[in-house]
Amino acid sequence: TKRQGVTICKGHKNYELMLNLQLGIRHSVGRPAPTKSLKLKPTAFDAEQKLWTKFPPEGSKHTPPHQSCEFKWKDYCPLVFRTLRKLFNVDTADYMLSICGNDALRELSSPGKSGSFFYLTNDDKYMIKTMKKSEVKVLKRMLPAYFEHVKSFENTLVTKFFGLHCVKLSGPIQKKVRFVIMGNLLCTEVPIHRRFDLKGSSHGRITDKPESEIDANTTLKDLDLKFIFRLQKDWFQEFCSQVNKDCDFLEQERIMDYSLLVGISFQDTEATEGKDEPDCIRTSSISSTDVDLNPTRWASVRLGINMPARVEFTVRSHETQLVGEPTGEFCNVILFFGIIDILQDYDISKKLEHAYKSFQYDSTSISAVDPRLYSKRFRDFIFRVFADDS
Ligand code: ATP
Ligand code: CA
Ligand code: CA
């Protein structure tokens, strides 16, 4: 399959930024600082660590010489993120190798509307997203609660954050680039054939691509969804319970605009030479015995990771209907999913967007709504498109 994104080579407009990022990460992550426990003092969350490290090209006492332009570097709450990486079982050496190894990063062609840039490590494990100042503020604010949440629930679906950093370019315009490093939800050995970004709102929630251009790298939305995801009973129960806990957490933090990203790998596919999308073999069997697939795979199944499931095809009776009627036709799949884009709070700009759009459209169909309503609508939708397979 085609790889996502463009490799950042010498001459690419963000080549130097990539080098800066790699130098910075090597500097901060590589520093020996063993974390023995998963307990943190409140001061670790102190956002006011105004420590800028200068990286002159000729090198300094603490920084190596380098080929890039001069820049300054800042880590936000390094001890917290170090502890988070430990909690998420990220090995420091592997982490550095993924991000700072010889293989360059790849830049994705702006998958979101917000203007953020996305980078993938060459091994696909990590995703780097540039952030607005307001998003950094939100992450810093919710970090203590986030830490407690991910520590309490090992099956949490919320994005795993591994680091928060800032590069300040020297020169007349001291441009700041802030970025967060997170896990790539769709890093897998099995091919992902389709991906959906689901919010539970309907206004504008459809791809603008013609059918012939839709492929594995297209982010499809709510109104493009033609399935119900059927999970095995135990998994479905765990799923519901975790979605509720995660949404409660996001609601308490006054977050909105997040989505459930779902990657689908179709099993039992027909010969697909030269074709990007395999035709899935639909069955009408009601029995779920064939869902189990290969037991050796169960060892690697976690909630939202490598999960055997079935999709049931649906049909909409009208275009704006969010969830279509089930048809009784099934296909075996492997699913990957998680809750992404969790750093937008219901700030003045979102309140204005809500007020403005509700003149024109049904106010419950637009994405920008109060966090309580957002969470309710999100869950209602998710609990309709996910179901138990029995
Ligand atoms: P907007 O605010 O307009 O939705 P954004 O710039 O905040 O856009 P996101 O919603 O965070 O961007 O992400 C855009 C797309 O990038 C997602 O729909 C998804 O396809 C991909 N993506 C984001 N985060 C991850 C992740 N952790 N793992 C895999 N893919 C991701
Ligand atoms: Ca989004
Ligand atoms: Ca966003």
Residue nearest ligand 1's atom 4 by CA: 112
Of 130, 164, 183, which residue sits at a domain end?
183
Distances (CA, A) of 96 to 24, 31, 101, 278, 358: 11, 11, 7, 36, 47
Distance 123 CA to ligand 3 centre (A): 24
* Ligand sitting nearest the alpha carbon of 199: 2
Q: How many domains does the chain have?
A: 2
Return the pLDDT at 292: 55
Which bound ligand lies closest to the C-alpha atom of 258? Answer: 2
Q: Are residues 176 and 234 in the same domain?
A: no
Query: So what's the pLDDT on residue 290?
Result: 52
Structural domain includes residue 1: no
Mutation choice for ligand 1 from 114, 136, 187, 222, CB with most ligand atoms inside 8 A = 114
Probe target for ligand 1 pocket from 114, 136, 218, 340, with the most ligand atoms within 8 Å of CB: 340
Q: From the CB of 114, is ligand 1 less than 6 Å away?
A: yes
Q: Of the residues 183, 203, 234, which one is the last residue of a structural domain?
A: 183
Q: Given ligand 1 and candidates 4, 88, 106, 118, which is best to mutate, with the most ligand atoms within 8 Å of its CB?
A: 118
If asked whether residues 225 and 82 sit together in one domain, one would say no
Whether residue 246 has its Cβ less than 6 Å from ligand 1: no
Cα atoms found within 13 Å of the Cα of residue 319, Cβ hemisphere only: 5
Q: What is the pLDDT of residue 115?
A: 83
Q: Which of 177, 204, 155 is nearest to 21 (CA)?
A: 177
Q: What is the pLDDT of residue 139?
A: 97
Does 164 share its domain with 211?
Answer: no
161 conformational bin, left if phi > 0, alpha if psi -120 to 50, beta if neither: beta
Distance CA 65, CA 57 (A): 5
Assembly ipTM: 0.99
Name which residue sits closest to atom 26 of ligand 1, judged by CA.
184
> 117 in a domain, yes or no?
yes
Last residue of a domain, one of 183, 209, 231: 183
From CA 351, how far away is CA 369, in angstroms rounded? Answer: 7
Q: Which helix (H) or strand (E) holds 198?
A: strand 194-198
Which residue lies with its CA nearest to atom 21 of ligand 1?
A: 111
Based on the fold, state whether residues 295 and 340 are members of the same structural domain.
yes
Phi and psi for 8 in degrees, rounded to 5? -90, 100
Query: Minimum-distance ligand to the CA of 343?
Result: 3
Predicted confidence at residue 47, as pLDDT, reads 60
pLDDT value for 173: 77
pLDDT of residue 354: 87
Among 214, 261, 339, which is best to mutate for testing ligand 1, by the most ligand atoms less than 8 A from CB? 261
160 alpha carbon to ligand 1 midpoint, in Å? Answer: 13
pLDDT score recorded for residue 65 = 96
Residue 83 domain boundaries: 6-183
| Angle (nearest 5°) at CA 305 between 300 and 311 | 115
Residue ranges of the alpha helices (H) in 160-318?
Answer: 233-252, 295-298
Specify the residue for token string 């990460």. Answer: 25
Tokens in use for 113?
């509307």
Residues 199 and 160 in one domain: no
Pair (253, 121) in one structural domain: no
CA of residue 262 to ligand 1 center, whole Å: 11
Which residue's C-alpha comes closest to atom 3 of ligand 1? 113
Reading the chain (390 residues) residue by residue, the pLDDT tens digits are 567 888 898 888 888 999 999 999 999 888 777 667 788 888 888 866 667 999 999 999 999 999 999 999 999 999 999 999 999 999 999 999 999 987 779 998 765 677 899 999 999 999 999 999 999 999 999 999 999 999 999 999 999 999 999 999 987 778 999 999 999 999 998 999 999 999 999 888 999 899 888 888 899 999 999 999 999 999 999 999 999 999 999 999 999 999 999 999 999 776 555 555 667 888 886 555 455 555 566 678 899 999 999 999 999 999 889 999 999 999 999 999 999 999 999 887 888 888 889 888 888 888 888 899 999 999 999 999 999 997
CATH number at residue 274: 3.30.810.10
149 & 209 share domain: no
Q: Which residue, 304, 306, 328, is CA-closest to 315?
A: 328
Instruction: Give the pLDDT confidence score for residue 200 in this predicted structure.
Output: 94
Token digits of residue 48? 């006011």
Q: 182 and 159 in contact (C-beta within 8 Å)?
A: yes
**Residue nearest (by alpha carbon) to ligand 1 atom 8:** 112
Residue-level pLDDT at 275: 58
Indicate which CATH number applies to the domain containing 178.
3.30.800.10
Residues 174 and 294 both lie in one domain? no
Q: Measure the CA–CA gap between 162 and 33, rounded to whole angstroms.
A: 16
For residue 161, what are the β-bridge partners?
182
Point out the ligand nearest to the CA of residue 344: 3
Residue 319 lies in a domain: yes
Give pLDDT, residue 140.
Answer: 95
d(CA 25, CA 66): 14
Residue 201 Cβ contacting ligand 1 at under 6 Å: no
Beta bridge partners of 292: none
